[in-house]
Amino acid sequence: MSLISLRDVCEYPLPEGLDYQVVADRCRKPWRKLTELSRRARQLDAAVVRAEQQGQFDLVLSNLHKTDRIVARSRALRERNVWFCLHGVFSASYLGHRTGFDRWMKQQKIKRIYQGRNVVTVSDAVGRDLVEEFALRPAQLKTIYNPFDITALRAEAEADSERPDGDYLIHVGRFHPGKRHDRLLEAYAQSGIDAPLVLLGQGKPEQEQRLRQLAKTLHIDDRVWFKGFQKNPLPWIKGARMLVLSSDSEGFGNVVVEALLLHTPVASTRCPGGVTEILTGELARGLADLTSPALAQTMQSIYHNPPAIDDAALEKFSVVSICQQYRQLQRT
């Protein structure tokens, strides 16, 4: 197995026996941006040829849109073995702020990359968005959810932390417009829930300042606790009375699965993406329309009458189940 990175960045421990290569671009010429994709595709091809001296790849997975643009130009990789892995709702990420000709041009650029290629998405919603918003027809389109090492996750949740005593609500996510912390604070204020709201995440200082000011305006600043980025948020999630998600869009919604695996109920906006595929059955009571009053009402309902969480239904997110699905891509 080989892992080829197009940037010299690695923040995770790598398993023994993995062939890890960095194919970083060293070009510093003034016109480097104009030739970047074709140049980097050639660099990738050279790395692939070297790696395949030990045997040809049966399956190639490309992750991240910039990487996809380079992989799509590769001549060394066999097209039928390559799968592009999409993790987000592209219309929200790339089209939301565009109109007219600019929007059409971006649609065409994305279409050129994925048209007629093998695509795997982290939710059905991501796949539908690709087909409907970009008039795109992949050669094959499959959904494979993100994997979770359930045993390890629950063990990490037992680690020491500085989480508060007593009941509290929690939101985990960076301060970004798409996460809609403004909607979260408004819904929390309208819900009438007295338990404090803990925010785990960070962003630009001006974004945090705006949120602090909004909390003050809503007269909830004494109950909204900004706890910054936590390397291990799992103990905080496990200890919470409820996790709240207020996003406009989520490709999948990892934190929702993490909360459920730790038996923490979830209230979330019914946003485009994978959340509605996670919160099904009784858990669907935790879904709200994308307005502050609707989210506030759902928060009240889940806080006072949480749904039962079925561990067996969450096994489909286990790392074993997901890895089996990826291995099956070799045979399609």
Give per-residue pLDDT as tens, 206-261. Answer: 999 999 999 999 999 999 999 999 999 999 999 999 999 999 999 999 999 999 99
13 shares a domain with 121 = yes
User: What pLDDT shows up at residue 232?
Assistant: 94
Longest dimension (CA), the chain: 65
Residue 325 inside a domain? The answer is: no
169 shares a domain with 310 = yes
User: What pLDDT shows up at residue 332?
Assistant: 67
135 shares a domain with 161 = no
Sheet of 266-269, strands arranged across: 224-226, 197-200, 169-172, 242-245, 266-269, 287-288
Residue located via tokens 């390890």: 152
What is the phi/psi pair of residue 8, to 5°? -85, 65
Secondary structure element (H or E) that encloses residue 127, with its range? helix 124-134
Q: How many CB atoms lie within 10 A of CB 320?
A: 10
Residue 328 inside a domain? The answer is: no
Residue 331 inside a domain? The answer is: no
User: What pLDDT shows up at residue 290?
Assistant: 97
Q: What is the CA radius of gyration of the chain?
A: 22
Beta strands in the chain (DSSP E): 2-5, 19-22, 60-63, 82-86, 118-121, 140-143, 169-172, 197-200, 224-226, 242-245, 266-269, 287-288
Domain end position, chosen among 126, 143, 160: 143
By residue count, the chain amounts to 332
292 shares a domain with 188 = yes
User: Which residue, among 240, 146, 165, has the nearest Cα to 200 in the 3D structure?
Assistant: 240
pTM for the model stands at: 0.89
What is the phi/psi pair of residue 234, to 5°? -60, -45
197 shares a domain with 156 = yes
Determine the structural domain holding residue 77 and report its residue range: 2-143
Please count the structural domains in the chain. Answer: 2
For 152-156, the CB contacts below 8 A with 24+ separation are 153/234, 153/258, 153/261, 153/262, 154/261, 154/262, 156/232, 156/234, 156/235
Q: Which DSSP state fits 306?
A: P
Flag residues of the chain having pLDDT under 70: 332
User: Which residue, among 177, 311, 298, 317, has the nearest Cα to 244 in the 3D structure?
Assistant: 298
CA distances from 103 to 1, 97, 126 (A): 39, 8, 19
210 shares a domain with 192 = yes
Task: Report the C-alpha gap between 266 and 286 in whole angstroms.
Answer: 6
Domain end position, chosen among 143, 164, 194: 143
User: What pLDDT shows up at residue 40?
Assistant: 95
